[in-house]
Amino acid sequence: MEKYKGWSALRGSTGKAAGESGYGMVKKHLTFGAMLFCATLLLASPDAAAIEKTSRLTDDIVRRFIIETTDVTSRKDAYMSDDEVKNYLDRHLHKKGFFKSAIRYVIPGFPSQENTMSLDKKQFIESVMSGQQALEDYRTDVSIEEIRISSDGEKATVVTRAAEEGLMPVPSESGGDPEKIPVEGNSTCNQILMLEDRVIQMYSANCTTQINFRMPF
């Protein structure tokens, strides 16, 4: 139980002041974890090769792109360097792209909190790179619920759902090693893809996300 002393402080079991202090400490670090969750989901076939160029969007091409990009943002493709990830995102995010998520945080022992995160292209790429250090043992399962392609084949609207989990390091009150708090996320995203010079790009994504902090014992 000693291992989770910081979690007890977060829940407020050591007193109101300690609880508020622990909660504020976690809230300070929530942004990084939330960005990784949402950044992965905003872009959501195994071993699919990169889709360099296409003259028309199809159901198969859209599915391959979503899964491929999810692998990139969640770093399942261990062979890609940081620069390669940045270059991939720069190529496949529209220059005027915008990404938004309504986030609900659920922490045991506290009222749920809600926040809205909005990112432009530059901020989105930065969040993906920062988020890699924010969560450990990250896993995600993305399902594509719906794909609607325009008659000219140049635009697609996609609905995805995802379940994610990982461990978020949170500084302990004692100043010792960070506690590793189990985190779970569930999201639904509506995304717009489009062709720009025959390259598939994400133009926008609008998500609703719930992030749950679980008891680590």
Higher pLDDT, 98 or 171: 98
Of the candidates 127, 174, 130, the residue with the CA atom closest to the CA atom of residue 5: 174
Domain boundaries, position 16: 2-213
Residue 89: band (very low, low, confident or very high) from pLDDT cuts 50, 70, 90: confident
Separation CA 119–CA 189 (nearest Å): 15
Q: Please write the tens of the pLDDT for every residue from 109-123.
A: 888 888 888 989 998
- Quick one: pLDDT at residue 69? 80
Separation CA 131–CA 113 (nearest Å): 21
Higher pLDDT, 69 or 119: 119
Q: Once rounded to an integer, what is the mean pLDDT over residues 17-24?
A: 45
Higher pLDDT, 47 or 166: 166
Separation CA 17–CA 35 (nearest Å): 28
Which residues is 98 bridged to in the sheet?
A: 120, 204
Amino acid making up residue 172: S
Residue 45 confidence (pLDDT) above 90? no
Of the candidates 208, 194, 213, 184, the residue with the CA atom closest to the CA atom of residue 96: 194
> Of the ranges 41-45, 111-115, 185-189, which one carries the lowest mean pLDDT score?
41-45
Domain count of the fold of the chain: 1
Residue 43 confidence (pLDDT) above 70? no
Separation CA 131–CA 31 (nearest Å): 9
> Of the ranges 52-56, 78-82, 96-100, 124-128, which one carries the lowest mean pLDDT score?
78-82
Angle, helices 16-42 vs 121-131, to 10°: value is 120
- Percent of the chain whose predicted confidence (pLDDT) is above 90: 21
- Quick one: pLDDT at residue 203? 92
- Quick one: pLDDT at residue 153? 94
Backbone angles phi, psi at 161, to 5 degrees: -125, 145
Residue 40 confidence (pLDDT) above 90? no
Q: What is the DSSP string of 161-215?
A: EEEEEEEEEE--TTSSSPEEEEEEEEEEEEEEEEEETTEEEEEEEEEEEEEEEPP
Q: Please write the tens of the pLDDT for every residue from 166-175.
A: 887 777 667 7
> Of the ranges 105-119, 159-173, 177-191, which one carries the lowest mean pLDDT score?
159-173
Most confident of 12-21, 29-38, 122-131: 122-131
- Quick one: pLDDT at residue 18? 40
Separation CA 101–CA 38 (nearest Å): 7
Element (H, E) at 126: helix 121-131
Could you tell me the CATH number of the domain that includes residue 113?
3.10.450.50
Residue-averaged pLDDT of the chain: 75
